[in-house]
């Protein structure tokens, strides 16, 4: 059975400006086996037996993409927020293509450094979700400690066929971008200057490809700032990884533990159908589809994502298994008053 509830009306999220001030925790620098220094932030828990929740952000983003979930969960759980190599405050690695396997190795080494023991819950968005899936293959020694997984707006494969909202053309975008960046090799300073000059256009593109409805200017600026802060050559080095992505065999490693698969109905980057495929491959996974949401669903509709993460964390260490049916979460609209006649 498939439950289907739709929001009554579109609405503009109400996010106060002060809520978007950067959150800070204990900074930790983790050096990987190939010498890259990764920036990690750790928020301690109020109780010593709390599980560690590791939030891995997505492509061209930073740990700030988890702002609202971090705000809601800090103190209740031990939170670990690493930034991918070349992103945010993490250093870049050697020049050249970066594989998801390499990112998974990085994530494993972060866990070794800051959470060497005790239960762990992994939360990944987009590229971060792909990294989490690959980690279960490359580090089977961590599976006994893995007590929950949340995969948000992500994919296990088939990304080369995604049209990014442009039928007949979109599936060529990644290859066109790769070729353009290859031709611009050695001239990244010119590309970076062009991005600054085209700031308004970049914000429009950020809105189009990451949000499905109206968002506050603060949210739009946050998303644009994260993406603009990711160097062009880092973006280029990661592009080929999406075309070869295939984490479907990794999904078997998620069986037997609480798993949340949360997809956004109007996601142009990792379509909702990819989330459904992941959920169908993991027995007992909770599948949540957020209506009227785009790729940055955790920023666009933070209360929905946070509530589902809380449900997942409540199940950690228990035998409770949710229905395998897809749950469609409505985004509430404002109440309207009836006119008096």
DSSP 180-192: HHHHTTT-HHHHH
| Contacting residues for 16 by C-beta, under 8 A, at least 6 apart | none
Q: Specify the residue for token string 């949000």.
A: 211
Residue 186 confidence (pLDDT): 54
Beta-carbon contacts of residue 112 (< 8 Å; ≥ 6 apart)? none
Question: What percentage of the chain reaches a pLDDT higher than 70?
Answer: 75
| CA distance to 227, 302, 312, 313, 329, per residue, from 270 (Å) | 17, 18, 22, 24, 18
305: which 2 tokens?
A: 């994502």
Q: Which of 196-210, 213-227, 311-325 has the highest mean pLDDT?
A: 213-227
- Alpha-helical regions (H) of the chain: 67-73, 100-114, 127-138, 173-183, 188-197, 199-210, 217-228, 232-243, 272-281, 297-300, 302-315
- Residue 335: pLDDT over 50: no
CATH architecture of 19-329: 3-Layer(aba) Sandwich (3.40)
Distance CA 131, CA 103 (A): 6
Instruction: Provide the sign of the torsion angle of the four alpha carbons 29, 32, 37, 39, taken in this order.
Output: negative
The contacts of residue 41 (CB under 8 Å, 6+ apart) are 24, 25, 26, 27, 28, 63, 80, 81
Looking up tokens 């997984």 gives 149
What angle separates helix 199-210 from helix 217-228, to the nearest 10 degrees? Answer: 110
Biggest CA–CA distance in the chain, Å, is 73
Neighbours of 257 (CB within 10 A): 18
- Domain assignments of the chain as residue spans, ordered by start: 19-329
pLDDT beyond 70 at 37: yes
| Stated pTM of the model | 0.84
pLDDT at 72: 97
Closest to 136 (Cα-Cα) out of 115, 98, 107: 107
Residue 205: what pLDDT?
A: 79
Question: pLDDT digit string (tens) for 299-332?
Answer: 999 999 999 999 999 998 775 555 544 566 666 5
Token pair recorded at residue 325: 């049916």
The tens digit of pLDDT for each residue in 268-295 reads 999 999 999 999 999 999 999 999 999 9
Across the range 165-191, mean pLDDT stands at: 48
* Whole-number pLDDT of residue 160: 83
- Please give the Cα distance from 85 to 66 (Å, whole number): 17
For tokens 């159908």, the residue is 273
Orientation angle between helical segments 232-243 and 188-197, nearest 10 degrees: 100
**Separation of alpha carbons 264 and 210, rounded Å:** 10
d(CA 94, CA 133): 24
């Amino acid at each position: 059975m498939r439950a289907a509830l739709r929001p009554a009306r579109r609405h503009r999220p109400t996010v106060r400006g002060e809520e978007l001030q950067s959150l800070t925790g204990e900074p930790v620098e983790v050096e990987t086996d190939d010498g890259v220094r990764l920036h990690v932030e750790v928020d301690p828990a109020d109780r010593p037996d709390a599980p560690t929740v590791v939030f891995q952000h997505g492509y061209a983003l930073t740990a700030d993409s988890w702002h609202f979930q971090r705000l809601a969960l800090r103190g209740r759980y031990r939170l670990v927020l690493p930034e991918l190599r070349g992103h945010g405050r993490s250093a870049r690695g050697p020049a050249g293509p970066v594989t998801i396997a390499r990112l998974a190795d990085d994530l494993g080494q972060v866990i070794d450094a800051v959470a060497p023991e005790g239960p762990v819950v992994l939360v990944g968005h987009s590229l971060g979700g792909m990294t989490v899936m690959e980690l279960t293959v490359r580090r089977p020694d961590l599976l006994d400690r893995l007590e929950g997984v949340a995969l948000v707006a992500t994919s296990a494969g088939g990304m080369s066929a995604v049209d990014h909202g442009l039928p007949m053309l979109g599936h060529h975008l990644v290859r066109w971008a790769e070729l353009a960046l290859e031709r611009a090799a050695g001239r990244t300073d010119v590309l970076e200057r062009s991005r600054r000059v085209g700031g308004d256009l970049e914000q429009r593109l950020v809105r189009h490809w990451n949000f499905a409805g109206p968002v506050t200017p603060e949210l739009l600026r946050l998303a644009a700032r994260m993406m603009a802060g990711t160097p062009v050559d880092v973006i280029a080095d990661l592009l080929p990884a999406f075309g070869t992505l295939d984490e479907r065999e990794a999904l078997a490693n998620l069986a037997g533990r609480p798993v949340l698969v949360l997809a956004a109905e109007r996601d142009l980057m990792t379509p909702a159908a990819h989330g459904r495929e992941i959920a169908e491959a993991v027995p007992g996974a909770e599948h949540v589809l957020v209506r009227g949401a785009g790729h940055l669903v955790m920023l666009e509709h933070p209360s929905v994502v946070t509530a589902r993460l809380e449900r997942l964390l409540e199940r950690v260490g228990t035998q409770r298994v949710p229905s395998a049916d897809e749950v469609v979460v409505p985004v509430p609209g404002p109440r309207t008053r009836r006119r008096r006649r």
